[in-house]
Structure 1
Amino acid sequence: MPWVKSAACLLTLALAAPTAQAATCDDTTVFDQRGKSDEVHAIAFLNLLRTRLRADDAPGVAALVRYPISASERGHTVKITTRTKFIRHYHAIFTERFKQVVYTQPDHCMFANDQGVMIGNGEIWFDADRHGRYRILTINPAD
């Protein structure tokens, strides 16, 4: 399967290549704060989230959330404690405008600090859990 070798080569190049993109970002990036390996994992998580949002896969997005979580729905904060409840509120939270924040986030310019990794201007924060799996920690309204 030649595509497997190609994918492996691309991943190897991505891990080995210096990150010139960080120099054009406005803030401290994942690479700056945490190094190349975390940057690769954060970008993979961002792309997984984008894929699930584009497919309007509410259960798939719900699986990426750490519960409980508070989210903004039509100007009100809603505490969501389970995947089932998240799925019920999915369309009110992930409006097309909100999804655009995720779609337009430059991969290599996600801000990071000790609280996690930020998408947009803080609309979504995510980080690795104790098992190393990235999970959405915070969902804030897109202004």
Structure 2
Amino acid sequence: MIPLAPDAHRVRDSLLAPQRTSHLGARLQARRLIVTGLSTLTLLLSAFAPSVALADCDPSDRDIANHLMTYSGQLGERNPLRLVLRPTSGGKLEGRYANASSQSDTYLTGKLEAKSRLHLTEFDAGGMPRATFEGEFSSSDDVNRQRGASPACEAISGQWKDLRTGRSVPFELTLSSIQSGKIGHLYGIAGVSDDETVNRAATQFRKGVLDDRRDVVAQLIRYPLHVSLRGKTLILRNPKSLLARYNEIFTDRYVRTIGAAVPRLMFARDQGVMLGDGAVWFDANGRVIGLNRS
């Protein structure tokens, strides 16, 4: 089985239980109840107030300088987005982004101002500015923190703006991974010679799953394939064996997970290239070598 790579698994804070007051007389108890009620109201109002805390994200003194920082999240309400940034000590940024339906990556250049504000510009085929990302790094306590990652660089929120029409769409991103490599060749560590080979395979596999093209899905897998099913390891030796257990493997939940993933700008390691949070793994030739259903 291909292990799950470190990605953005969320951690939720637990709520504090209210404490009981001691009984010291009716008048004193009433006064304490009033104070307690006001304190509780203050806490509730604070909890629902919008957070505007910014966070410093200056990579000049950290290991992340000149590394590739990949962020995952949403553009608007239903558009999965992946953004790869390469920061330098001078505050300059270069990047690429893609959504689930992208046929190619979009190149970005920009800068980081005041250690918190992000300015990125994308260009059209003629080299003219086409759109911008304007955002801010904010504190995020519920992101899985990885070695070498600063908590201050873990979350970005802001607006994407089409410079031609003026249309603006909000985006929310959280840090998924940090890795070395070239921004134009992310999968080299997995032995991939051309990233587009894996991108095309991942796009085809995702579309096959969403369209219920079981024949397409079966042909994109490298056999034999080990799959965990109800606590047991299932060995799929050929397309026929996959098709026989297809409904058990590709449940509605698993299909939704694959559908929410962006089949470009994926995380790579020596074991392969992963789609989403490790839901699917590909080898250097774009063949599926792992299906992680949990």
Q: Over residues 6-62 of structure 1, what are the superposed CA-to-partner deviations in whole Å (9 max), with x where a residue is unaligned?
A: xxxxx7xx47x63679xx752138843439x73333222221012211221212101
Q: Unpaired runs of 5+ in structure 1?
A: 1-10
Q: How does 1:105-120 map to 2 (within 5 A)?
A: 105-120=261-276
Amino acid at match of 1:18: Y
Is structure 2 residue 293 aligned with structure 1 residue 141?
A: yes
Q: Could you say what secondary structure the match of 1:100 adopts?
A: helix
| Cα pair distance change 1:102/1:31, threshold 3 Å | farther
Deviation at 1:64, TM superposition (A): 0.4
Is structure 2 residue 239 aligned with structure 1 residue 83?
A: yes
| Cα pair distance change 1:86/1:107, threshold 3 Å | closer
Give the aligned partner of residue 107 of structure 2.
18
CA contact (8 A) 1:30 1:110 kept: no
Higher strand share: 2
| Cα pair distance change 1:84/1:107, threshold 3 Å | closer
Q: 1:108, 1:52 → 2: CA distance?
A: 16
Q: Unpaired runs of 5+ in structure 2?
A: 1-102, 110-119, 121-172
Q: 1:44, 1:51 → 2: CA distance?
A: 11
CA contact (8 A) 2:254 2:293 kept: yes
CA contact (8 A) 2:202 2:286 kept: no
Q: When the two structures are superposed, what TM-score results if normalisation uses the length of structure 1? A: 0.70
Amino acid at match of 2:176: D
Q: How does 1:55-134 map to 2 (within 5 A)?
A: 55-128=211-284, 133-134=285-286
Q: Could you say what secondary structure the match of 1:134 adopts?
A: coil
- Does 1 or 2 have the higher relative contact order (CA < 8 Å, sep 6+)? 1
Task: Determine what percentage of the aligned residue pairs are the same residue.
Answer: 29
Deviation at 1:99, TM superposition (A): 1.4
Q: When the two structures are superposed, what TM-score results if normalisation uses the length of structure 2? A: 0.37
| Cα pair distance change 1:134/1:108, threshold 3 Å | closer
Amino acid at match of 2:289: L
Corresponding residue pairs, total: 124
Larger Rg: 2
RMSD value, Cα: 3.2
Q: 1:60, 1:74 → 2: CA distance?
A: 25
Amino acid at match of 1:32: L
Which runs of structure 1 show a deviation greater than 6 angstroms over 4 or more consecutive aligned residues?
Answer: none
Amino acid at match of 1:82: N
Q: 1:64, 1:117 → 2: CA distance?
A: 14
Q: 1:111, 1:30 → 2: CA distance?
A: 13
Amino acid at match of 1:71: V
